[in-house]
Chain A
Amino acid sequence: MEIRFDWKLSRVVDEDGNVLDQLEWTSSHSANSLVERLSDLQSGRLTPEARILRDRFPDAVPNPLGAISDGNWPELTKEESEMLSHASLILAKRGVANAATDPDRRLDMLSSASTELRSSWTTQESRAVEWAGLFLHDLDLDGRRAEIPLCIAESENISEAAVKLGASIPEHLPTDSEWSAMNSQARGVISLSERLALNEQATRELATSHVPSLSSLIGPLGASRMVVLAGGRERLARMPSGSLQVLGASGAMAAHRRGAPPPKHSPVLFSMPLVSRSPRWVRGKIARFLAGKCSIAVRIDHFGGQTWDEDQVRAIHAQAEEIRDKFPKPKKRG
């Protein structure tokens, strides 16, 4: 005995194909109520009629594929077909709009924008610095690197910038239009830094609420990178910690498939001082340990566990340091 149903009709049918009972949706054939119905069906729920039939026949099993398999299922009228088209369109558009409620997608926008901003900042900043260095021949490019873009951006001409940066007045000057381009390059660098700061602030806030335990373990920026690389929090939570350890090291993993040694850690884990500041021979051990903890953390975050407090995170970091102290010397090759 099973319950066959579509959006309009529900039937209880026994093993011999006899219809024992049926209910049809008749009340208020409005587009909005149909949209809600379709939404219920799409999320795997039953229609109200199918639920009533289930209560009447507790032995009957609901079969979502029953209606299309039933040769005696009534056909839709033209009006009903049109109604279904219309409602499914509204529902699809609602689904598109609801994508904005998904924190994974929002984190993806932030984190990806952040990566792009950072890479364009790096190239544009070094261009601005090299450009200034061409004219200001005795400027200390390394010692005063951080000030150079701002000084160029806020000066009227190259000589003013030279004074601000403590360099001698250049002997050979850029043309006016050249200076304008140089100045605007520097202003671009400043604006990129501001955008990056705003972006990372927003990323931190979102990551701290979306993956709180993972954020306190490896920092909110690293945590958001991991979620984005995995393609969402749920996927990250379902990953084995070995995958998590090399998440983002796709180039190294491809090389590994061709015979190179496996990567010890992903760029995300490497960006943690615990890994990158440790001696080379313990980085893999620490990364493996941390990946395991990350995987526990994201599972806590995703499946609604008790968020880790500072003490717990501190204890984990202390354990990682113990691993480092346990191996003061590289393994002897033998």
Chain B
Amino acid sequence: MPRKPVSLGWGIRREGRTLWSRNSTRGKSVGNERRKRDGRIEWRQWDPSRSKVAAALLITSQKASELLPGPGDTCLYLGASSGTTVSHIHDMVCGSNNHHNGQIIAVEISPRMMRDLSSLAEDRPGLIPILTDARETPSYAPLMREKAHWIHQDLSIADQAENFITIAKSTLQAGGIGLLSLKAASERHSEGDDFSRFSSAEKLLKESELELVERIDISKFQDQHVVFVVKLLKGERTD
């Protein structure tokens, strides 16, 4: 029985338990995800077990559209890896041939991953791949056209929450949304079990200038992972 699709914003929809993004490179998949046609539009399946953002969208208790950037926004994606999630964000923020005029700064430190990410960027104008350390904000900030509306940090480093707070404070605009994917296994071994690591990250976020909106446990799709959703209230608007 086909379910009626529910729109989660431009270019993104949910059908039952599956998520789809409006393919901006028609006829092409990024990995080997399914594609399907609906009239003139082609949709690409967004797999929650390969993308933490997709998992968070399916599990969140607020409106899923509150977690996403809109068309034409400026986005900062730290730890872009080979670009699976980035491609879906690009589908909605830039659209085919970047007709929304969005900008996605995709930072990745590993040349092996950048190999795939840069070939993705060839077909997707508006996607700016940068090979650098995500903690080095000055190395990518001058390439951003403005402070970001939306940030996602997905890094395998220790002190993920501290880094996220520092980066978000300097690169997120007022009212902007930040997503932090926290991987328990990346924190130092000596610092307690998974649960206490998530809690100490939560405490840090609460004490910071960011407003913690939601803590989403995505362990159903990805082991030992939690996604924190934050908002930046203070700071001047740039648009």
B121 within 8 A of A: yes
A99 within 8 A of B: yes
Chain B positions 106-149 with a Cβ under 8 Å from a chain A Cβ: 111-112, 114-115, 117-118, 121-122, 125-132, 136-147
| A68 near B117: Cβ-Cβ < 8 Å | no
Given A65-B170, A96-B111, A85:B125 Cβ within 8 A: yes
B45 within 8 A of A: no
Residue from B103, B139, B140 within 8 A of A81 (CB atoms)? B103
Chain A positions 27-76 with a Cβ under 8 Å from a chain B Cβ: 38, 41-44, 64-65, 67-71, 73, 75-76
B61 within 8 A of A: no
| B140 near A42: Cβ-Cβ < 8 Å | yes
Number of contact residues on B: which range applies?
A: 35 or more
Residue from B128, B138, B171 within 8 A of A88 (CB atoms)? B128
Residues of B within 8 A of A44 (CB): 136, 138-139
Min C-beta distance of B201 to chain A, whole Å? 22
Given A84-B143, A95-B111, A65:B118 Cβ within 8 A: no
For the complex, give the distance between the alpha carbons of A44 and B135 in Å. 13
* Most A CB within 10 A of own CB, among B138, B145, B170, B238: B145
How many interface residues does A have (CB within 8 Å)? 33
A329 within 8 A of B: no
A92 within 8 A of B: yes
Min C-beta distance of A13 to chain B, whole Å? 14
| A92 near B131: Cβ-Cβ < 8 Å | yes
For the complex, give the distance between the alpha carbons of A41 and B131 in Å. 12
B101 within 8 A of A: yes
| B139 near A43: Cβ-Cβ < 8 Å | yes
Chain A positions 91-124 with a Cβ under 8 Å from a chain B Cβ: 91-93, 95-96, 98-99
Residue from A43, A68, A91, A99 within 8 A of B141 (CB atoms)? A68
Q: Which residue of A lies closest to B238 (CB)?
A: A71
| B128 near A84: Cβ-Cβ < 8 Å | yes
A82 within 8 A of B: yes
| B126 near A65: Cβ-Cβ < 8 Å | no
Residues of B within 8 A of A7 (CB): 142-143
| A68 near B130: Cβ-Cβ < 8 Å | no
Residues of B within 8 A of A332 (CB): none
For the complex, give the distance between the alpha carbons of A6 and B128 in Å. 15
Residue from B125, B139, B145, B236 within 8 A of A71 (CB atoms)? B236
| A68 near B140: Cβ-Cβ < 8 Å | no
Cβ contacts B76-116/A at 8 Å (1 or 0 each): 00000000000000000000001001010000000110110
| B139 near A41: Cβ-Cβ < 8 Å | yes
B237 within 8 A of A: yes
| A95 near B131: Cβ-Cβ < 8 Å | yes
| B171 near A68: Cβ-Cβ < 8 Å | yes
Residue from B125, B126, B132, B142 within 8 A of A6 (CB atoms)? B142
| A85 near B171: Cβ-Cβ < 8 Å | no
Residue from A70, A85, A95 within 8 A of B114 (CB atoms)? A95
A277 within 8 A of B: no
Residues of A within 8 A of B146 (CB): 68, 73
Chain B positions 140-193 with a Cβ under 8 Å from a chain A Cβ: 140-147, 170-171, 189
Residue from B111, B121, B145, B236 within 8 A of A89 (CB atoms)? B121
For the complex, give the distance between the alpha carbons of A64 and B139 in Å. 8
For the complex, give the distance between the alpha carbons of A69 and B237 in Å. 9
Residue from B121, B127, B142, B170 within 8 A of A41 (CB atoms)? B142
| B125 near A96: Cβ-Cβ < 8 Å | no
| B114 near A64: Cβ-Cβ < 8 Å | no
Min C-beta distance of B168 to chain A, whole Å? 12
For the complex, give the distance between the alpha carbons of A303 and B139 in Å. 24
Can you name 14 A-B residue pairings with CB atoms under 8 Å?
A: A6-B143, A42-B132, A67-B141, A68-B146, A69-B170, A69-B236, A71-B236, A71-B238, A73-B146, A78-B101, A81-B98, A81-B103, A84-B143, A89-B118
Using A42-B132, A91-B130 as known contacts, list a sample of 20 further A-B pairs with CB atoms less than 8 Å apart, ordered by residue number in A: A42-B131, A43-B139, A44-B136, A64-B137, A65-B170, A67-B142, A68-B171, A70-B238, A71-B237, A71-B238, A76-B145, A81-B126, A84-B143, A85-B126, A88-B143, A92-B121, A92-B131, A98-B111, A99-B112, A257-B189
Residues on A lying within 8 angstroms of B by beta carbon are: 5-7, 38, 41-44, 64-65, 67-71, 73, 75-76, 78, 81-82, 84-85, 88-89, 91-93, 95-96, 98-99, 257
Minimum-distance CB pairs A-B, first 6: A64-B138, A95-B131, A99-B111, A92-B129, A92-B118, A6-B142
Residues on B lying within 8 angstroms of A by beta carbon are: 98, 101, 103, 111-112, 114-115, 117-118, 121-122, 125-132, 136-147, 170-171, 189, 236-238
